[in-house]
Amino acid sequence: MTDVKATPERSGGAKDTVTITVDGKQIEAKPGELLIQAAEEGGVYIPRFCWHKRMDPVGACRMCLVDVEGSPPIPGTQSRRPQTACTTVVREGMVVHTQFTSDEANEAQKTILELLLINHPLDCPICDRGGECPLQDQTQDYGPAESRYTQQKRRYVKPVPISPLINLDRERCILCYRCTRFCEELSGDVLISTMQRGPEAFIFPFYKDPETNGHDAAVRGPLSGDINETFDSYFSGNTVQICPVGALTSTGYRFKARPWDMQNTESVCNLCASGCSIYAGVRVQDGNVARINAATNEDTNEEWLCDKGRYGNEYISSSERITQPWLRRDDALVPITWDEAFRELADKLAPVLAGDSDAGMIVGGHLCDEDYYAAQKFARVVLRTNNIDFRTEPGPSADAVVAPGVTYDDVLGSDLVVVVGTDLREELPLLFLRMRIAASKRGLPIALVHPRAVSLSEHAQLHVRALPGAVPQEITQALRGKERPIVLLGSRACSSEAVAAWNATGARIAWLPRRAGVTGALASGAHPDLLPGWRRITDDGDAADIANAWHVPVPAKAGLDVPGMLAAASSDLGVLWLVGADLSDVPGGNEALDKARYVVVQDVQNCSAVDHADLILPAATFVERDGTLTDWEGRRQQVNAAVDPPGSARADYAILAEAARRLGRPIGCRTHVQVKDELDGLLDGRTSIGAATQRAPEPPRNSDGLRLLTYRLLYDDGARLRASEGIRELTPRPFAEINTADAERLHVTDGANVKIASARGSITVSAKVTDKIAEGVVFVPWSQWGVGGHQLVSWDDQNPTLVVEAVS
């Protein structure tokens, strides 16, 4: 639907406000603004169902009818034609009477409400939306007590699971088109549409040919709901949240709780670095997180979430949670108390503390800032080592670190955004969504460097199909003369050479971490070569700052990075401590753990590392503790405890602080506020870091046969995600995407199996033959159902040369 756009230019006037009168009240409105919004901002709420301020108005539900002076008359009456406030653009001097002051408007709205209820099932007592349903509320406020109509209402099979995550109950639908407009205008995933027409119209995904499934759909009417394609969109959950009735409901939440049973805690999602504000809804009776909804935050997620953030949190209440410490004794894990755990630690760390042995810490990507800070301080102050790292996947070396500073607003207001080496929809879904909206609604100029046609390709003005690392001339040229150019570097495009080359274009650069904690990890110094506050360990002044703050010297010896620690785990490292780090699909991870001398696993739930653990420490999830999270922009936002941790689990920073105290080398802060304050002091004003060395980057060559491209899809084998059944069902099977010409040469056919081998290993997956990927490149997702690119790469070669063979 391409309806009225509330663009400012429509009104034309140069004045920056127009004055209108609503129910006798003078309201200053913005030129081009819609009456419904202007009135609301001025304190007069006009009821509505279809209108949503982030989408173009459709004027469909007609609930917002008001009386506007000067409208044409209704022939044969004294009245004027009512107008929909949601499609009426304010005009200077406009005089409006709403339901509060006009009998006609009031009557019109009542009529609409009654008509809406005519076919509505009124099954409120069993409806998930009951208690927070605009239709219910309006009926209570204005509506008739009972329906005057006795004839047969529309009937549909109810509910239809239109995806593993979402149910659709068509009887309740009032056809406001919010869901379909969301998909069409905002997410771009047109996977549900209005089907049929008139009173028989309904919202549905692509459904099965009635010829083959025996339904009588040529005659309009209820279909049983056999579908061809599920509503498989990363953003589908938003449609549930904006549905004004209970037509779309979340499978996971269905019948779990009623709105009035729920306590909502505002927090931040920690499943990626987008920094989305959320409400964690906790059912008071059992203290379980019943649902996650988007909270409104104009700076970050507006009011949207991706489905991973919304539905990917079932691990929190899963049976796989670790709820107490465990110790491996004679090859079996036995439950122990915290006290025993700390004594065990003291025992095992004694040689380390004595300086006779070394230790290392690998931290995961989903921790809070305070956890990273506590961990690196623990490493440096207690273990006296710089062996701490979060980079279980490609991440920047100290000379390639770009301190954050670019914001959503900067990106959306740029005159050219270059996105290098990242598939944003898979990595930062909300940044993708907001850029997509800006591109499709306002033509935000975008250029891409990526070998595949990825999520933003259809909106890109320029797309250079090169492997990460390349700095194509077309793009650097396009950046010339731009006033607000921005380059967004994906996590795989952050070599120091690339950073230097992009820096040279004069554009502002942002580095896009995929995981929620990474910016915090960098800022906190959870990196062998970095200290808190973006300080470099090799900089004497920086090191002295920290030593002064801590009253302890910073260890001088260079620290090991993740591959370094994995290699040393069987030799130099007496203890390898994993804090929320899952190494199951990290190259060499399982092998290293297998041979490691002693492994501490500190985590929220069972993961493959547990099989190798000597000591297990139970950690709290992000909804069970307070803290801060720093998103890709560098924006630090508050994470709030919504529930208590299960069993004796504790926040990561608290475990580390307590361990330090027990080990006799306290890290000086125990509560999250203390940790935060200390970190704040060291971060103060420090957001920049020296420019990277200026070297021409070496673009990876495609000429020597096929090269691998691999990265994580949004739905992958992530340990936490595995607990969310719906998402699991939607998780793609492993595949290899290969260019048509390459496929032809290698006799690979679409859908058939191919064997893909690198120097490190080989896998067999099904082939997707397409022109959407550059010639000479084969894309294999990092890790899907146990198989993926992680089996082919090595630490120093993320784009290995491949041998591809058709498998018969």
Partner 1 sequence: MAEETLVVLKRREMSEPWSFQTFVDSGGYQAIRKAVTEMTPEEVIKLVQDSGLRGRGGAGMGTGLKWSLIPKDSPKARYVVCNGDEGEPGAFHDRELMETDPHALIEGMLCAAYAIGARHCFIYCRGEFILARDRLAKAIQEAYDNNYLGENIMGTTFSCDMVLHRGAGAYICGEETALLESLEGYRGMPRPRPPFPVTEGLYASPTVVNNVQSLQAAGQVILNGAEWYRRWGTEKSPGTLVCSVSGAVNNPRNVEVPLGTSVADVLELCGGVDDRGLKAFAPGGWSTPMLPPDKLDATMDYEGMVAAGSVLGASSIIAVPNDMCIVRAVWRGSKFYSHESCGKCTPCREGTYWVERILEDIEHGRADERDLERLEAVNNGMSGFKSLCALAEFAAGPVGSSIVHFREEYEEHIRLKACPHQMQAVAS
Partner 2 sequence: MTDTRVLSEDFYTRAKQIVARYPVARSALIMLLHDAQDEVGYVDDDVIREVGSVLGLTPADVEGVATFYTMFKRRHPGKFLISLCTNMSCTINGADETAAALRDAVGPEHETTSDGVCSWESVECLATCHWAVAAQVNYLDIPYLTPDRATKLVSDLKAGRDLDEILSELRAAKSLQEAKSG
Interaction of residue 194 with partner 2, rule CB under 8 A: yes
The DSSP result for 67-109, as a single string, is EETTPPBPTTSSPBPPEETTTPBP-TT-EEE-TTT-HHHHHHH
Q: Can you say how many angstroms the Cα of residue 243 is from the centroid of all Cα atoms in its chain?
A: 21
Contacts with 619 (C-beta within 8 Å, 6 or more apart), sequence order: 322, 579, 580, 602, 603, 604, 649, 650, 651, 652, 655
Residue 156, classed as helix, strand or coil, is coil
**Taking a C-beta distance cutoff of 8 angstroms, is the pair 759, 800 a contact?**
yes
Residue nearer to partner 1 on the CB measure, 336 or 439 = 439
- Strand pairing of 627-630 and 248-250? unpaired
Q: How far apart are CA 330 and CA 497, in angstroms?
A: 50
**Partner whose footprint covers residue 51, from ligand FES, partner 1, partner 2, none (CB < 5 to 8 Å by kind):** ligand FES
Interaction of residue 174 with ligand FES, rule CB under 6 A: no
Residue 489, classed as helix, strand or coil, is strand
- Nearest distance, CB of residue 131 and ligand FES, angstroms: 22
Interaction of residue 38 with ligand FES, rule CB under 6 A: no
Give the burial string for 529-555 (b: 16+ CB within 10 Å, else e): bbbbbbbbbeeeebbebbeeebebebb
Residue whose pair of structure tokens reads 């107490």 in the numeric block? 324
Pick the binder of ligand FES from 51, 156, 304, 373 (CB under 6 A).
51
Question: What CA dihedral angle connects 509, 515, 521 and 522, to 10 degrees?
Answer: -20
**Taking a C-beta distance cutoff of 8 angstroms, is the pair 111, 65 a contact?**
no
Interaction of residue 201 with partner 1, rule CB under 8 A: yes
Site for partner 1 in 48-67 (CB under 8 A): 57-63, 65
If you ran DSSP here, which 8-state letter would residue 129 be given? T
Q: Which stretch binds partner 2 (CB under 8 A): 71-79, 152-160, 201-209, 343-351?
A: 201-209
**Taking a C-beta distance cutoff of 8 angstroms, is the pair 478, 447 a contact?**
yes
Q: CA 301, 295, 283, 638 torsion: positive or negative?
A: positive
Residue nearer to ligand FES on the CB measure, 22 or 669 = 22
Neighbour count for residue 452 (Cβ, 10 Å): 20
Mask of contacts with ligand FES, 85-124, x by CB under 6 A?
Answer: -x--------------------------------------
If you ran DSSP here, which 8-state letter would residue 734 be given? P
Interaction of residue 211 with partner 2, rule CB under 8 A: yes
Pick the binder of partner 2 from 21, 193, 241, 648 (CB under 8 A).
193
SS3 of 436-472: the string is HHHHHHHCCCEEEECCECCCCHHHCCEEECCCCCCCC
Mask of contacts with partner 2, 271-310, x by CB under 8 A?
Answer: ----------------------------------------
Tokens of 760: 């490190």
Interaction of residue 741 with partner 2, rule CB under 8 A: no
Interaction of residue 500 with ligand FES, rule CB under 6 A: no
Contacts with 603 (C-beta within 8 Å, 6 or more apart), sequence order: 322, 364, 578, 579, 580, 581, 582, 609, 610, 616, 617, 618, 619
Give the phi and the psi of residue 802 in degrees, each rounded to 5.
Answer: -120, 155
Residue 608, classed as helix, strand or coil, is helix
Site for partner 1 in 153-192 (CB under 8 A): 154, 174-175, 177
**Partner whose footprint covers residue 808, from partner 1, partner 2, ligand FES, none (CB < 5 to 8 Å by kind):** none
Residue nearer to ligand FES on the CB measure, 22 or 787 = 22
Residue nearer to ligand FES on the CB measure, 66 or 600 = 66
Residue nearer to ligand FES on the CB measure, 86 or 586 = 86
Q: How far apart are CA 641 and CA 649, in angstroms?
A: 13
Residue nearer to partner 2 on the CB measure, 454 or 523 = 454
**Partner whose footprint covers residue 3, from partner 1, ligand FES, partner 2, none (CB < 5 to 8 Å by kind):** partner 1
Interaction of residue 195 with partner 2, rule CB under 8 A: yes
Neighbour count for residue 807 (Cβ, 10 Å): 13
**Partner whose footprint covers residue 699, from ligand FES, partner 1, partner 2, none (CB < 5 to 8 Å by kind):** none
Q: Which stretch binds partner 1 (CB under 8 A): 111-119, 355-363, 622-630, 649-657?
A: 111-119
Interaction of residue 204 with partner 2, rule CB under 8 A: yes
Pick the binder of partner 1 from 25, 95, 114, 457 (CB under 8 A).
114
Indicate the burial class of 194 (C-beta count within 10 angstroms; 0-12, 13-18, 19 or more).
middle
Site for partner 1 in 68-97 (CB under 8 A): 74-75, 79, 81-82, 84, 87, 89
Q: How many residues bind partner 2 (CB under 8 A)?
A: 25
If you ran DSSP here, which 8-state letter would residue 610 be given? G
**Partner whose footprint covers residue 119, from ligand FES, partner 1, partner 2, none (CB < 5 to 8 Å by kind):** partner 1
Helices (H) and strands (E) in the chain, counts: 22, 35
Question: C-alpha angle with apex 471: 792 to 452, nearest 5 degrees?
Answer: 50
Q: Which stretch binds partner 2 (CB under 8 A): 212-220, 533-541, 626-634, 794-802?
A: 212-220
Residue nearer to partner 1 on the CB measure, 177 or 315 = 177
Q: Which stretch binds partner 1 (CB under 8 A): 12-20, 150-158, 416-424, 497-505?
A: 150-158
Interaction of residue 694 with partner 2, rule CB under 8 A: no
**Which H or E element spans position 591?**
helix 589-595
**Partner whose footprint covers residue 48, from partner 2, partner 1, ligand FES, none (CB < 5 to 8 Å by kind):** ligand FES
**Partner whose footprint covers residue 721, from partner 2, partner 1, ligand FES, none (CB < 5 to 8 Å by kind):** none
Interaction of residue 62 with ligand FES, rule CB under 6 A: yes
Pick the binder of partner 2 from 95, 124, 191, 412 (CB under 8 A).
191
Residues that bind partner 2 (CB under 8 A): 189-197, 204-212, 216-219, 228-229, 750
Residues that bind partner 1 (CB under 8 A): 1-4, 10, 57-63, 65, 74-75, 79, 81-82, 84, 87, 89, 108, 111-112, 114-116, 118-119, 148-149, 151-152, 154, 174-175, 177, 194, 196-201
Residues that bind ligand FES (CB under 6 A): 48-51, 59-64, 84, 86
